[in-house]
């Protein structure tokens, strides 16, 4: 058998303590879990309830939900349970519960992403707003320190300028909610110069100019290559110390889903980062969890939803 890649980190993701502390000071949101009857969503819900940051609304097959609760030795009799048959009905019922004010957050349980997103996108369910849906990853290191936000790595494949502007708005809003009132936001490309043959660099400069005109308290820079987003040493080498963001970015707006997906997975698999994902732009925060997400990432995402709800 081939040896594992030496680049892979063996660090385990850790839910940031400061996120939990902030969330525990907020009212625990009612979170509708679509297709809750499986091991991972039930374990996540139990851990979040024990941490005081969630009140679950279980949606799905009653027998499956109660069986997994029993496996966890968890009494769920005091929580609401909405019976649903199949994943599409579970998604629709959970989305409707949020739209009608019976829940504050929508969370993906054990179902396919397309069924889950269909329930959000269907206007009759009442979750759509005039805003575009954008996905954000809040990524933190096991040793702590400044987290990094990445948008959009999971929902919008090849976003147009309006969608990228919505990503900027959502990013600044989330950072403000987390206590950062003067965030530094970078627009990612492969260069720090505007080059016509590199479309992302042209787009990054246009977004930078637009963002500076619309968000006075935040700082923006672009285009920036990844080394200039993260490394003060690269900033010094390239004599860009006067840039307001370079080397110390709080967030990165990526040009497409491929670069965003590669960046977030690099931080997770190569450094042990905890990637808490949330979708903004709907009537309520949406937790688009994955089967590959560790418990720490799921708990961190719930904490962020609690903080957003309090705001």
**How do residues 98-156 score in pLDDT, each as one tens digit?**
999 999 999 999 999 889 999 999 888 889 999 999 999 999 999 999 999 999 998 99
Q: What percent of the chain has pLDDT over 90?
A: 88
pLDDT of residue 310: 73
Whether residue 182 sits in one domain with residue 99: no
- What average pLDDT does this structure show over 186-208? 97
Q: In what order do the strands lie in the sheet with 30-34?
A: 80-83, 55-60, 30-34, 105-108, 286-287, 274-280, 134-140, 148-151, 251-253, 184-188, 219-224
Whether residue 270 sits in one domain with residue 154: yes
pTM: 0.93
Q: How many domains does the chain have?
A: 2
Whether residue 186 sits in one domain with residue 89: no
Kindly report, residue by residue over 214-259, the tens digit of the pLDDT.
999 999 999 999 999 999 999 999 999 999 999 999 999 999 999 9
CATH number at residue 309: 3.40.50.10950
Whether residue 192 sits in one domain with residue 92: no
DSSP H helices, 138-276, are 161-177, 199-214, 226-230, 232-237, 257-271
Whether residue 271 sits in one domain with residue 309: no
pLDDT of residue 293: 85
Kindly report, residue by residue over 23-45, the tens digit of the pLDDT.
999 999 999 999 999 999 999 99
Q: Rounded to an integer, what distance in angstroms lies between the CA atom of residue 202 and that of residue 198?
A: 7
Whether residue 157 sits in one domain with residue 110: no
CB 110 within 8 A of CB 36: yes
pLDDT of residue 2: 63
Range of the domain at 19: 14-129+282-311
């Amino acid at each position: 058998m081939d040896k594992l890649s030496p680049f892979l980190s063996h660090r385990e993701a850790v839910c940031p303590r400061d996120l939990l502390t902030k969330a525990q000071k907020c009212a625990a949101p009612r979170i509708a879990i679509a297709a809750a009857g499986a091991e991972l969503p039930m374990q996540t819900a139990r851990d979040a309830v024990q941490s005081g940051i969630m009140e679950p609304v279980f949606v799905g097959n009653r027998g499956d939900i109660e069986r997994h609760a029993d496996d966890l030795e968890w009494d769920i009799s005091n929580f609401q349970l909405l019976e649903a048959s199949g994943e599409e009905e579970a998604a629709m019922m959970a989305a409707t519960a949020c739209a009608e004010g019976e829940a504050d957050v929508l969370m993906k349980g054990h179902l396919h992403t397309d069924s889950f997103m269909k329930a959000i996108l269907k206007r009759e369910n009442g979750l759509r707003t005039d805003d575009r849906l954008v996905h954000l990853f809040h990524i933190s290191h096991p040793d702590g320190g400044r987290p990094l936000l990445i948008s959009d790595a999971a929902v919008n494949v090849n976003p147009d300028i309006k969608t990228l502007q919505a990503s900027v708005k959502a990013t600044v809003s989330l950072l403000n909610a987390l206590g950062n009132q003067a965030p530094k936001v970078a627009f990612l490309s492969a260069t720090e110069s505007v080059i016509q043959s590199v479309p992302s660099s042209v787009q990054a400069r246009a977004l930078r100019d637009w963002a500076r005109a619309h968000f006075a308290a935040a700082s923006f820079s672009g285009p920036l290559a990844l080394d200039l987003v993260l490394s003060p040493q690269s900033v010094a080498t390239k004599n860009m110390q006067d840039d307001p963001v370079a080397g110390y970015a709080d967030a990165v707006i990526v040009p497409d889903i491929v670069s965003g997906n590669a960046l977030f997975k690099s931080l997770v698999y190569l450094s042990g980062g905890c990637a808490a994902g949330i979708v903004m732009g709907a009537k309520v925060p949406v937790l688009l969890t994955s089967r590959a997400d560790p418990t720490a990432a799921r708990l961190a995402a719930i904490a962020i939803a609690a903080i957003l709800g309090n705001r």
